[in-house]
Amino acid sequence: MLVNGDTAVEGNETVLVNVTSVSNATIADGQGIGTITNDDSATLPTLSISNVSDSEGTGGTKGFSFLVTLSAAAPADGVTFDIATTDGTAIAATGDYVAKSQTGQTITAGNTSFSFEVLVIGDAANEPAETFLVNVTSVVNATIADDQGQGTINNDD
């Protein structure tokens, strides 16, 4: 069987071959499965996450909008990844921001970005700028250019 090559980034594909009309023999297994393995990973887009810097406000919450981008459109199967915050000098447990962890986030086929918010909790304390990190892990169908965004909470008190 001949397989035509291409440069499309796509999932692995399968082809079934059936054996029929056998004479003078018994068919023990009449179907074979061939797997066409995608070998176009060199053409996968690269993934990056933005940094965000903003004031915290004096009360309530404020959304810091992070953007995950691809260098080219997502392939046919899309790009999936997980995101999770990590404390820096800003500490979620002490009320600087709301920790976030999400699995299975997707940039669908043909698209190039995904945005999400991390909530920062405002206060009236005069303090230096604080930071937290957002890590992108478990990336599928893209290579990683920058897998860590930084949120900088600027003092405005």
Q: What digits encode the pLDDT tens for the residues 15-60?
A: 888 888 888 888 888 888 888 877 665 589 999 999 999 999 888 9
What pLDDT does residue 10 have?
Answer: 66
Helix (H) or strand (E) holding 32: strand 31-36
| Rounded Cα distance, 96 and 153, in Å | 9
Tokens 């009449």: give the residue.
30
Domain ranges of the chain: 44-154
Identity of residue 141 = N
CATH number of 44-154: 2.60.40.2030
The pLDDT assigned to 37 comes to 75
Residue 53 CA to residue 152 CA, distance in Å, equals 5
- Encoded amino acid at 87, one letter: D
Find the Cα–Cα–Cα–Cα dihedral 69, 73, 78, 81, rounded to 10°: -20
59-107 pLDDT, tens digit per residue, is 899 999 999 999 999 999 999 999 999 999 999 999 999 999 999 999 9
* Predicted TM-score of the model (pTM): 0.73
Strands, sheet with 101-107, edge to edge from the N-terminal-most edge strand: 52-55, 148-154, 130-140, 79-87, 101-107
Q: What are the structure tokens assigned to 24, written together?
A: 């003078």
**Local structure of residue 41 (DSSP, 8 states):** G
